[in-house]
Chains A and B, each alone.
Chain A
Amino acid sequence: MNAMSLQETHAVSAKLMAGEEADAIANAACTDNESIAIEDHGSYLTISGSGRIMLSIESIEEELGRPYDVPTLLVVLASYTGQVDVEDDRVYIKEALST
């Protein structure tokens, strides 16, 4: 591999601190997004997709069976690949520098 063959990628991912909320967010993401993958790394969990991942508070609330909000989601969002866009009831992970 060298600079010339640096692979173009549209991969985006969210890395969540392991626990009940991470499981609920991952389940909700599976419902709301097409072709995403979940990986368990012990201390954290990765949701990966291509182009865009949408995390909806409504779907997470359904999974958890209790109210939930964006700031609490950001507490367990340990990291991500791409760019975050926060709305009132949704968090998007999009490709970096996308408009």
Chain B
Amino acid sequence: MRYVVLAAAVLVFLGAGGLVWLGWYSAIAPIQPPARASFPPAAIAQGAELAALGTCMSCHTTPGGAPFAGGRAVQTPFGTIYTSNITPDPATGIGTWSEAAFRRAMRAGVGRSGRQLYPAFPYDHFTKISAADDADLYAYLMTRPPVRATAPPNDLSFPFDYRFLISAWKLLFLRTAPFHPEPAESMQWNRGAYLVQGLAHCGACHTPRNFLGAEESGDAFAGGDAEDWYAYALNKASPAPVAWTADGLYHYLRHGWQVQHGDALGPMREVTDDLAGAPDDDLHAIATYIAAGLGKHAPPGPQVATKAGPGEALYRGACAVCHGDSHGPPFAGIDLARSSALRAPTPTNLANIITDGIPATGETREPIMPGFGAVLTARQTRDLIAYLRTRFDAPHPRDGIEDAVKAARANTAQLEATR
């Protein structure tokens, strides 16, 4: 609570100054929604691949809703933001946006009308996208079926509901420098860097955020929060017991799982679903860049013999039948000695996976793990987590388990109400 008040005070103070400094943005004149024929087919096709790399769909679509019609709730420490409709509907989407208006939104986080956009829209990354790529993205989005849909109003706590404060935030945190290639690195590495830092906005989840919700630029890829999940560190602090390789990362991004590391879960599963439309070369480039920043690890130690705790029988009866199997993904669960969830600094993901499992979803062909929230009490779930961490020698403090289990159970109950 205290930090929210502090954050509010800082923003209000700077907001006043920021307004003077930045001034109002003027509206960009509305246009008639452009005809499909006004875009070269190659631009639309290129834009489709770019939209996949930017995973635009997963945030701008509600579960089961019309693609790009927005309305999805994004939880932030400051309240709930509902994503906008980016179909070319003139009344409720971006149908009246010119390419210049679109590019200003991507570069500077300002809507066509001059309205400040909340940085839940990751323009702190998109500002690095080239003008040519923005043009292709625009061509793609403006040729999607228009959907009339208005997102619910944001539900932000005072004073974050005042958009003028965003200009202060930008003053503090938005750096609009274009992408600068590293001449010493390979073309592939640079392509990966361009995508990761810009369009793919990996740091939006994998980099920790400060008390004003901005990425800690000095701590890039040190691990962060993604909705109700923990996004693992992608730097030398990676909790993966087996070191990622560029090839392994490529497979993971392409297929949503990797034999040494397991499955993409939670928000990352949505990312890999979206990446289905991304070109192979770009996924290789992303994998090359990310892998270069990851540390090398010692292989995981042998399983330690543990004294029987209350979690042991739960593990043997519920988990071992799949996770003790030697086949591994995709035929069985991952050997938990290789699990990043177990070795992450927070037990958030572990609690989520045990409680909700990996549910069967309508359209995707993915692994399925039964959730155990229906049979395990909160205490049994905690016992199981404690046992797993001991058994698989996951060197992390035991605190946080209670909160993680409580949150996972609350989220699952909410999910089930909609299932």
A and B: interacting chains: no
